[in-house]
Amino acid sequence: MNYYSISSISTVFILLILFQFNPIKSYSQYGRVFDEMILSSEILDMDRKYAVYLPPDYESSSRKYPVLYLLHGYSDNQTGWVQFGEVKFIADQAIAEGSATSMIIVMPDADTNVIGYVNTIDEQWLYEDFFFEEFIPHIEKTFRVKPEKGYRAIAGLSMGGGGSLIYALHRPDLFIACAPLSGWFGATKIEELEVSLQNAGIEYDPEKLEPYFNHYNPFKLIEETSTSELNKVSYYIDCGDDDFLFEGNSMLHIALRKKGVNHEFRVRNGGHTWTYWRESLPEVLHFVSQRFRRF
């Protein structure tokens, strides 16, 4: 072998090494997050913010993607999962490792005016109506989202965990999977709801109290819904053993088990913290991806 052949081989080898570590190539391995997206809502009569994670191959492809609606907890907003939950880093890693499929993750804001994901009893704030009638259609019009139930999932932490559960119980025709993390499920008794409404200064028709309670109490909904209907959604429940909401999450597991509903229940070491939820998110992404891949 002459000098020029050896030199050529060395040059090719060096170029291969440089190409492998080229930051331009590596950039395509990362998704993008936009956390100041805005939707003008007629139902709520105001602009609503949301954040969205787009997977690494979104801009280089023309295909449609499954979607996960990821709800924040009390005192957070649409940036909670972005800033503290590290959704971009975790999703990028899960997709790169193959434990999760490429998906769009949407994070709405439920921290303006009235906090929470439900309609109020006086019907002055209809957040649930907004979510189903305006928000989901807006997402499916704005992004390349697969609009079928088999490619739509919902999850959330704490208040968002309770919201995700209620949404899945109300609309099992829309979600293939639901993953409440450290879920807060609201008042456990009508008397508790009555006191909270009085403390908030909300006026309401007393005859609406019990129907409203039943409509937003997951245990009542599970009790009154058929097993076949409940099994239209795959549930993943996760709560730390030191979490102050551990009892309610354990009761949810027991209620689903007694009803014969297929679900996963996870208890790990930890409390009501972002450290715990960051560790939960990869498992949620894997769980919903398995459901997406069935279709």
Residues 143-177 have pLDDT tens digits of: 999 999 999 999 999 999 999 999 999 999 999 99
**In the chain, which residue ranges form alpha helices assigned H by DSSP?**
3-20, 23-27, 80-83, 87-97, 127-130, 136-142, 159-170, 190-199, 209-216, 218-224, 227-230, 246-259, 274-292
Lowest mean pLDDT among 24-28, 37-41, 61-65, 202-206: 24-28
Q: What is the mean pLDDT of residues 74-93?
A: 97
pLDDT of residue 25: 39
Record the pTM.
0.90
Dist. CA 104–CA 152, nearest whole Å: 10
Residues pairing with 119 in the sheet = 126
Q: How many residues does the chain have?
A: 295
Between residues 177 and 201, which one has the greater pLDDT? 177
Chain centre to alpha carbon of residue 51: 12
Q: Model confidence at 21, in pLDDT bands (50, 70, 90)?
A: very low
Q: What is the pLDDT of residue 293?
A: 84
Q: What is the mean pLDDT of residues 200-204?
A: 89
The amino acid sitting at 40 is S
Of all residues in the chain, what percent are helix, strand and coil, respectively (each to 5)?
Answer: 45, 20, 35
Lowest mean pLDDT across 3-12, 152-161, 196-205, 223-232: 3-12
What tokens appear for 198 in the block? 């009085």
Percent with pLDDT over 90 in the chain: 86
pLDDT grade for 113, boundaries at 50, 70 and 90: confident
Instruction: Please determine, for residue 272, whether its predicted confidence score (pLDDT) is greater than 70.
Output: yes
Report CA-CA distances (Å) from 229 to 143, 166, 290.
Answer: 30, 14, 20
Q: Mean pLDDT lowest for which of 5-14, 67-76, 221-230?
A: 5-14
pLDDT at 295: 54
pLDDT band of residue 28 (cuts 50, 70, 90) is low
User: Cα-flanking dihedrals φ and ψ of residue 99, to 5°?
Assistant: -80, -15
DSSP-derived 3-state class of residue 51: strand
The encoded tokens of residue 185 equal 């499920």
Is 80 exceeded by the pLDDT of residue 22?
A: no
Q: Which token pair is 127? A: 């957040």
Q: How confident is the model at residue 29 (pLDDT cuts 50, 70, 90)?
A: confident
